[in-house]
């Protein structure tokens, strides 16, 4: 057995040693103190940290491959988790956006419905105002016809004036009636006046129904409703005067003229106040 010099620590060791007992440097059995070029290359490889196949075998780490796999799997897992989290966030944001859009659409629909209902109610109120005018002027015209004829019969009976339009009521057997009430009774028993009176009463029912629909107006129609109330009051006085005459000829005539004038005054005001639909 011979001694050789350890390439690493330069100590004298046995040429049969495979590892330097001093520094632990790996040796090839039988290496001489003057290693060959190939041995020098192998030693240099080891010294550089790049072991040859023998050295690699001596220094390889069995867990290195598994560690790489774990790192790879961990990276994939992190990416998957991040991807799932991103998808969840996007889905949540999408759901929130859909909910917000549905809420906005529902609110817009509600506002549109309220606006449509308000517009419809407004147009209906305007329509009822116009119908109120039509019905009251219709009833007023009938009342005017009856009142004019009543006043004429009353007058002709008292003053015994002949009139082809009233003679059938003012005279009995060619003689003027002594009592104007007789003439008025005959007038109101006639088919002509009976039809007028019945029509006026029906007209009053229609006006009542429209008046109820016009109660509690919106602010826009407050001025209109003031005229409605004025017309309604005068209309009833006027039509009742036609249905059931009372008082003296003078008071009857004055009331008739006052109601007629007041009615037309408020009628014209309301007609101007009613807005377009």
pLDDT tens figures, 107-153:
999 999 999 999 999 999 999 999 999 999 999 999 999 999 999 99
Round to whole Å and give the CA distance between 14 and 245: 157
Rg (the chain; Cα; Å): 60
Q: How far is CA 35 from the centre of its chain?
A: 99
Output the pLDDT for position 212: 97
Helix axes 222-243, 191-213, angle to 10 degrees: 160
| Cα angle 171, 148, 194; round to 5 | 70
Backbone angles phi, psi at 172, to 5 degrees: -125, 120
Backbone angles phi, psi at 20, to 5 degrees: -65, 120
Tens digits of residue pLDDT in 207-265: 999 999 999 999 999 999 999 999 999 999 999 999 999 999 999 999 999 999 999 99
What percent of the chain is modeled with pLDDT above 70?
86
Contacts of 191 (CB under 8 A, 6+ apart): none
Output the pLDDT for position 142: 97
DSSP code of 221?
G
**Confidence at 62, pLDDT banded by 50, 70, 90:** low
Nearest to 33 by CA among 78, 77, 64, 2: 2
Residue with tokens 């003031």: 226
Q: Does residue 38 or residue 91 have the better pLDDT?
A: 91
Long-range interactions of 257-261: CB distance < 8 A, separation 24+:
259/234, 260/140, 260/144, 260/147
Round to whole Å and give the CA distance between 153 and 145: 12
Nearest to 125 by CA among 221, 1, 200, 10: 221
């Amino acid at each position: 057995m011979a001694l050789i010099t350890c390439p690493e620590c330069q100590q004298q060791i046995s040429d049969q040693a495979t590892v330097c007992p001093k520094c632990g440097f790996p040796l090839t059995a039988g290496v001489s103190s003057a290693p060959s070029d190939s041995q020098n290359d192998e030693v240099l490889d080891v010294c550089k940290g790049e072991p040859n196949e023998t050295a690699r075998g001596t220094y390889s780490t069995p867990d290195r491959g598994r560690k790489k796999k774990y790192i790879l799997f961990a990276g994939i897992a992190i990416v998957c988790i991040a991807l799932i989290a991103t998808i969840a966030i996007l889905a949540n944001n999408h759901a929130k956006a859909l909910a917000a859009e549905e809420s906005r659409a529902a609110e817009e629909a509600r506002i549109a419905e309220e606006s449509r209902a308000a517009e419809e109610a407004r147009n209906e109120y305007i329509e009822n105002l116009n119908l109120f005018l039509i019905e009251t002027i219709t009833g007023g015209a009938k009342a005017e016809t009856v009142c004019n004829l009543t006043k004429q019969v009353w007058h002709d009976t008292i003053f015994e004036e002949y009139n082809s339009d009233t003679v059938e009521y003012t005279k009995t057997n060619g003689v003027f009636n002594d009592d104007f009430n007789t003439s008025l009774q005959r007038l109101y028993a006639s088919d002509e006046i009976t039809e007028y009176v019945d029509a006026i009463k029906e007209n009053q029912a229609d006006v009542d129904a429209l008046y109820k629909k016009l109660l509690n107006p919106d602010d826009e129609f407050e001025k209109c409703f003031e005229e409605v109330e004025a017309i309604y009051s005068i209309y009833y006085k006027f039509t009742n005067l036609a249905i059931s005459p009372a008082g003296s000829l003078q008071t009857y005539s004055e009331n008739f003229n006052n109601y007629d004038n007041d009615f037309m005054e408020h009628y014209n005001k309301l007609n101007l106040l009613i807005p377009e639909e």
